[in-house]
């Protein structure tokens, strides 16, 4: 299992783009697979806008990923 701690939308977008590229999937195909518009996917990967959790989850799911929430380590911040 791979864990990747991210906090900002641009980090999420970058991670999703890297995963998409590693799977050799183009944006158009991923948008169709995830049920989102290609424009929304492009914006997500660029860290632009304010995507909904539903959109992020749909893209992550299509990439074989799942979203998890956990309590931050209060001593580390």
Homologous superfamily assigned to 9-62: lambda repressor-like DNA-binding domains (1.10.260.40)
Averages of pLDDT over each 10 residues, the chain, 77 residues: 75 95 98 98 95 96 91 67
Please report the pLDDT score of residue 70 as a whole number.
78
Q: What is the CA radius of gyration of the chain?
A: 13
Domain ranges of the chain: 9-62
DSSP track, 4-28: ----SHHHHHHHHHHHHHHTT--HH
pTM: 0.85
Please report the pLDDT score of residue 49 as a whole number.
87
Please report the pLDDT score of residue 75 as a whole number.
67
């Amino acid at each position: 299992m791979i864990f990747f701690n991210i906090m900002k939308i641009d980090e999420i977008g970058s991670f999703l783009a890297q995963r998409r590229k590693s799977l050799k999937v183009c944006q158009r195909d991923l948008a169709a697979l995830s049920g989102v518009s290609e424009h929304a996917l492009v914006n997500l990967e660029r860290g632009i806008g304010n995507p909904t959790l539903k959109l992020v989850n749909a893209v992550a799911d299509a990439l074989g990923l799942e979203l998890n929430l956990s309590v931050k380590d209060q001593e580390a911040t």
